[in-house]
Amino acid sequence: MEGDASDAGGNGNHGSNHTGLVQYARGMRGLAAWFDGQSCIRLPQPRLLDGASNATISAWIWFSSSSGGQIVGIGDGRVGLDPISTRINPFAAEDLTVEQVVNGMQTIIALGGEAIPGLSIGSWSLFTVVLERQPTRSIFRCYVDTRLVTQSTSTDFSHIAYDKDMPALIGAIEVDSPWQFWNGGIDELRIYNRALSSAEVAELFYGGADPRLTVEVSQVRLCWNAPTNKTYQLQYGSELTTNAWVDFGAPIPGNGSVICTNDPVVPPRRFYRVIVLPRE
């Protein structure tokens, strides 16, 4: 999402605007794609994840409204034809489904019936859904940041299966009417044909983080030239709009060199000055 929808994974699945106009601006990791509830990106692979028994979709997401929306739609959104759907809402129950149609029968792994905790408007969250096939069952997990927030299992589901070519969309899912769109930001979208472990999800959360350097100052060191024939008084004030200066310590005789003293940083701020005594 660094200014366009190019595939940074080297697999050639470069996206392009499909409806509306997706904007690119500051996100969680550099730039992000910003969707207005009417725009989306289309990927060139119409059967993305077809046949996969294991898969992961992960992205940094930013909610611009309380309605949520569709992060990724890999397939047609009509009932029975949706191989994998990641529609979420921070405040209401939403299904996250993997669906398979075999001989007209539909098997579903769904995470629904309750809100997903940890998602909120106006902040970035790492949202990850994982499909993992085990010998006797399939497991569908949902993470927010590094926390496993919900999980479900199915003994019927075996793999993602398409019955026809279907579009793969970012920020929407294609349905008869109306389409379901995303309203907000999507950054660092990753789609895998394997199940990420909880440790790998944590690495996505921590591994790409900016250093975010902070500087904390506990004291200030004050120094001035001090000839031996003078006496000096260090003073401080909290505002420069008044003449309310307060003596800092006792007067200090000059030493013919440089005098230094330390003062703990006191909020909200201090201004300092040195005066020569006696004042003329």
Give yes or no: residues 69 and 94 share one domain: yes
Q: Which of 207, 235, 252 is the last residue of a domain?
A: 207
Co-location of 46 and 184 in the same domain: yes
Residues contacting 215, CB < 8 A, separation 6+: none
Contact partners, residue 180, CB within 8 Å, separation at least 6? 69, 70, 73, 77, 87, 172, 173
138 in the same domain as 45? yes
Question: CB count, 10 Å around CB of 31?
Answer: 17
Question: Tokens in use for 272?
Answer: 């300092």
Residues 24 and 89 in one domain: yes
CA atoms within 13 A on the CB side of 96: 29
- Inform me whether the pLDDT recorded for 234 exceeds 60: yes
* Whether 200 and 226 share a structural domain: no
Residue range 215-243: mean pLDDT, rounded: 88
Q: In this structure, are 158 and 263 located in the same domain? A: no
Res. 139: pLDDT tops 50: yes
Regarding whether 259 and 163 lie in a shared domain, the answer is no
- Residue 11: inside a domain: no
Same domain, residue pair 87 and 201: yes
Same domain for 191 and 237: no
Peptide bond into 278 cis (omega under 30): yes
Residues 123 and 170 in one domain: yes
Which of residues 207, 242, 268 is at a domain's end?
207
Is omega for the bond preceding 251 within 30 degrees of 0, making it cis?
A: no
Identity of the residue numbered 269: R
In this predicted structure, the answer to whether residue 41 has a pLDDT above a threshold of 70 is yes
Q: What is the pLDDT of residue 82?
A: 52
| The model's pTM | 0.67
Domain assignment present for residue 6? The answer is no
Q: Are residues 195 and 223 in the same domain?
A: no
- Specify if 7 maps to a domain: no
**Does the residue 213 lie in any domain?**
no
Last residue of a domain, one of 159, 176, 207: 207
Decide if 168 is inside a domain. Answer: yes
Answer yes or no: is 121 within a domain. Answer: yes
pLDDT tens by residue, 104-134: 444 544 455 456 666 777 888 898 888 898 9
**Structurally, how many domains does the chain consist of?**
2
Q: How many residues does the chain have?
A: 280
Identify the domain containing residue 153 by its residue range: 16-207
Q: What is the CATH number of the domain that holds 171?
A: 2.60.120.200
**126 and 68 in a common domain:** yes
Q: Per the domain annotation, does 144 fall within a domain?
A: yes
Domain assignment present for 134: yes
Give the model confidence (pLDDT) of 168-183 as tens digits: 888 887 766 677 788 8
Q: How far apart are CA 269 and CA 123, in angstroms?
A: 31
Distance, CA of 170 to CA of 1 (rounded, Å): 11
Q: 3-34, pLDDT tens digit by residue?
A: 888 998 888 889 888 888 888 988 888 889 99
